[in-house]
Structure 1
Amino acid sequence: MKVSIITEGFENTGYGHITRCISLYQAFMDRNIYPALYINGDEKSKSFLSNVNYELIDWLTHPAQLIKKIINSDIVIIDSYNAGKEFYENISRFTKILLMIDDFIRIDYPPGIVLNGSINAELLPYPKKSNIEYLLGTKYIPIRKAFWEITNRKYKSELESILITFGGQDIRNLTIPVLNAITDYNPELKISVVFGNKDGNKYSELKSKYPNAEFYYSINEYEMKELMINCDLAISAAGQTLYELAATGTPTIAIAVAENQKNNINEWHKAGFILEPIFYNDINCIKKIIEQLNKLKSIRLRKKLGNNGKIKVDGKGSKKVVNHLIEKYCEEEGFYLRKAIDIDSEPVFNLSNDPAVRQQSINKNPITWEEHLQWFNSRINDKNYLFLLAFDKDDKFIGQIRFQIEEESAIVSISITKEFRGKGLSKKIIKAACSKLFNERNIKLIVAYILPDNHASINGFKSAGFTQIGEENINDEKYLKFVLKRD
């Protein structure tokens, strides 16, 4: 399955789009599918992209460059505030399923799936169209893998520790004023300060000035989760971070730092997760933070806010979205294909040793585990071999299809598990896999060798467009030779 994710992130606008796209990337990886991420971003965006298959590309200015990379994608995801309707319409021509992430009914979207995981998004007046499906509300909010599983939170009777975070980029420079205000309010409070991806050296002198504070720079999602869980209260911007704070049940004082956060903060207030909304340009912003801090000395109030957050965000949004996309794809195809990886060794071994499979193979002897491991590891790492596995929407193993590539031709073989035989999947898998091979490699001819009595396989390859051109003897046994030529 080819999945392409398109998004953006800059220092002056923040990196929230990137972090939620990474959460979807992680959910695909959880299903052993490895997407490609195309980011219109700056150099600082790279700090969010460790262990991610990504490419920085100005796809807004040079869409043709992007098209070359995403063509023949099975699923494309777009998360942007800058792309126009024409861009979405153009991308939709090159994919089977298009997912468009939205926050405020930004444009009139083309046919596909619109995802808005914002708080109470299901109440927004989205137009009802037969060719658009909507995934709305916090049950679908994509948040990072670290927040998929959260242990029960313990609330302390006294307010002892505070987390201050204004996202990957503190665009309103609120961190230091808030830190000063909290220190003046109560010098005994333990404070954790996250500066996003700003240069930590710039703040090295702060430790001596604020002895009760710990400073963190460009921390990963697991470190951020621990800071949230271990603090009694957070002070945060009102963007993507609020959903992670809600998932951890962290009582929060939220400040809207951008126009597009106003609806977010108002809806979280209605949901009972935060007290009165605060806006960065309010002359009394700092004063209101301290007023709320006083109120949140109450453990009862903190528990109430934290529990309301957890009710709204269970942390599973990314997985729900990806599961839905794969189910949607399988509704039409009946299966999906992905490349074989090391964890697939055992099911492939069991299928390969199925007596029915061995009977139709060139080598009919049973395969030992040691032989299989050596063969399997060499094949999945061989650039001249395309090894694909087919699964249903619930990740049940359907079968394997393999291509041995020799210059401009390839030899194909396929085997289906007993559970899925006789369901008409073989011809579909052959067609899809051959199409993938033609699209990805400079292959002009695909060859299949089939025993004359293997009628099911003969019918499957014929239905997939293969033509018999003769016979060949292999290991003193006659095989029918079928070929499929590139259109």
Structure 2
Amino acid sequence: MAKKIWIKANGNGAIATGHIRRCMTIAAELRGKGCEVTYILSDEDSDHVLHELSEEGGDEYDSIILHTIYSQPLQDMEAMKVLMAEEKPDFFLIDSYFVTEEYFKALRDLIKELGLEVKLGYIDDLYKFDYDVDFIVNYDLKVPEDFYSAGVKLLGGEYAPLRRQFGDSKYKISKRAQNVFISAGGTDPYRIVRNILNEIYFAENSPCREVLDFTGVMCEVVVGPLFEEDYVKELQDMADKCEFITLHYNPGNMAEIMNKCDFAVSAGGTTLYELCAIGVPTCVYSMSDNQVQFVQAFDELGAAKYAGDIRTDHRLIQKIVTWGTAAVDNPGFRKRMSDKARSIIDGKGAEKIAAAIVEMI
């Protein structure tokens, strides 16, 4: 019989889509190894995100909605007891920032009470405590080896769970940069994409436009699935007015779009790993506390340029645009960053994670 894998992850306008998206890449590899994968979701919002991303990626995943509050995972236990007794999963992979020590203890007690042998796994990047699991994944570039006591520890950038399209890059550095990839991830609460486009193409009193040359610069803009409707319309209006702006809605060929871009602007998150796997020189910014040290590590290693935090740096847009312009006629700089990024992220993390899960069960 096929091994049963459960995945707990949620996504909405507040927590974005990253947890569901990165688990989908692992799920695809597990399916390829003959496993049966089911998402365990708190609410309908998360189910909607899952199916939106499934349409984008071309893979549909079964889901079970617990009808609980995503930020209070202990609420899951009542429904989980019935489900686990019926389904008897072999492995339960958890990807949530809201789990607590009490949550893992309750899970362990439930598994023991039901007489099951469910292995527990967790994807971490917060280091809140030593998680009581059998299997831990942390693909930060710098991970303290002695922090976790799990039996299986997959640590470092090589375990970044990316889609297969990012695993075999043939990226080339152009002599002069012309195409720019811009992404804020699933959401853009600070309207940074709009503000960058405005700085480049529209602002009459922009200090950047007074001294920098944007002639012929093309922007490939990814519109996140959770962008608000009025914001999407605003971006579409900008694209309608400027032939140099192309919007991409739920692109299934993200690696292809990245491959044709000479450099990128991105928030910290899965997209940054994807850009590094392709080899696109990237200017990255942070917009949450848990992103700051994460993106600074890329900067310290020379794999990306950290511009600052959108919440506190009022000159961030100008810094990003200035960096991009400086990179236009500097292929040597872009090549050094590209080579370093690809040496850290090989795009095969999801395959390695899935193989380790199958070996464990």
Normalised TM-score (structure 1): 0.63
Which structure would you say has the larger RCO, counting Cα contacts within 8 Å and 6 or more residues apart?
2
Q: Which residue type is aligned with residue 105 of structure 1?
A: Y
The share of aligned pairs that are identical, in percent, is 23
In the alignment, does 2:52 pair up with 1:47?
yes
**Bigger fraction of residues in helix:** 2
| Aligned length in residues | 323
Match runs of 1:298-377 below 5 Å: 298-329=330-361
Unaligned runs of at least 5 residues, structure 2: 202-208
Q: 2:118 aligns with which of 91, 96, 99?
A: 96
Q: Which residue type is aligned with residue 19 of structure 1?
A: R
Alpha-carbon separation, structure 2, partners of 1:58 and 1:118: 32
In the alignment, does 2:42 pair up with 1:21?
no
Alpha-carbon separation, structure 2, partners of 1:107 and 1:229: 38
Q: 1:36 aligns with which of 21, 38, 48?
A: 38
Preserved contact between residue 164 and residue 236 of structure 1 (Cα < 8 Å): yes
Deviations 1:184-216 (A, max 9, x none): 451521111111113455543222222211112
In the alignment, does 2:147 pair up with 1:126?
yes
Alpha-carbon separation, structure 2, partners of 1:125 and 1:284: 39
Preserved contact between residue 277 and residue 342 of structure 2 (Cα < 8 Å): yes
Matched with 2:155 is 136
Alpha-carbon separation, structure 2, partners of 1:86 and 1:271: 37
In the alignment, does 2:262 pair up with 1:257?
no
Q: 1:84 aligns with which of 100, 106, 113?
A: 100
Matched with 1:73 is 89
Q: Which residue type is aligned with residue 283 of structure 1?
A: H
Superposed CA RMSD: 2.0
Q: 1:174 aligns with which of 176, 188, 192?
A: 192
- Structure ID, larger Rg: 1
Unaligned runs of at least 5 residues, structure 1: 330-487
Alpha-carbon separation, structure 2, partners of 1:58 and 1:323: 32
Alpha-carbon separation, structure 2, partners of 1:289 and 1:63: 45
Alpha-carbon separation, structure 2, partners of 1:19 and 1:176: 24
Matched with 2:77 is 63
Matched with 2:222 is 194
Q: Say which is worse superposed, 9-18 or 83-92, in terms of deviation.
A: 83-92
Q: 1:12 aligns with which of 1, 5, 14?
A: 14
Alpha-carbon separation, structure 2, partners of 1:31 and 1:37: 17
* SS across alignment from 1:292: helix
Q: 2:180 aligns with which of 134, 144, 162?
A: 162
Q: CA deviation at 1:237?
A: 0.2
Matched with 1:266 is 296
Q: Report the CA distance shift for 1:295/1:207 in structure 2 as closer, same or farther (over 3 A).
A: closer
Q: CA deviation at 1:172?
A: 2.0
In the alignment, does 2:314 pair up with 1:283?
yes
Q: Report the CA distance shift for 1:36/1:276 in structure 2 as closer, same or farther (over 3 A).
A: closer
Q: CA deviation at 1:106?
A: 1.8
Matched with 2:205 is none
Alpha-carbon separation, structure 1, partners of 2:197 and 2:264: 12
* SS across alignment from 1:62: helix
Q: Which residue type is aligned with residue 314 of structure 2?
A: I
Alpha-carbon separation, structure 2, partners of 1:217 and 1:20: 19
Q: CA deviation at 1:236?
A: 0.4
Matched with 1:376 is none
Deviations 1:47-104 (A, max 9, x none): 1133122234345233321333344211110000012122223334254321111102
Preserved contact between residue 22 and residue 161 of structure 2 (Cα < 8 Å): yes
Match runs of 1:210-229 below 5 Å: 210-220=242-252, 223-229=253-259
Q: Report the CA distance shift for 1:27/1:67 in structure 2 as closer, same or farther (over 3 A).
A: farther
Q: CA deviation at 1:150?
A: 2.0
Q: CA deviation at 1:21?
A: 0.7
Alpha-carbon separation, structure 1, partners of 2:279 and 2:117: 38
Q: Which residue type is aligned with residue 259 of structure 1?
A: D
Alpha-carbon separation, structure 2, partners of 1:85 and 1:210: 52
Preserved contact between residue 269 and residue 291 of structure 2 (Cα < 8 Å): yes
Q: CA deviation at 1:219?
A: 2.3
Preserved contact between residue 276 and residue 342 of structure 2 (Cα < 8 Å): yes
Q: Report the CA distance shift for 1:58/1:261 in structure 2 as closer, same or farther (over 3 A).
A: farther
Q: Report the CA distance shift for 1:276/1:237 in structure 2 as closer, same or farther (over 3 A).
A: closer
In the alignment, does 2:261 pair up with 1:231?
yes
Alpha-carbon separation, structure 2, partners of 1:139 and 1:169: 26
Normalised TM-score (structure 2): 0.84
Q: CA deviation at 1:228?
A: 0.7
Preserved contact between residue 4 and residue 70 of structure 1 (Cα < 8 Å): no
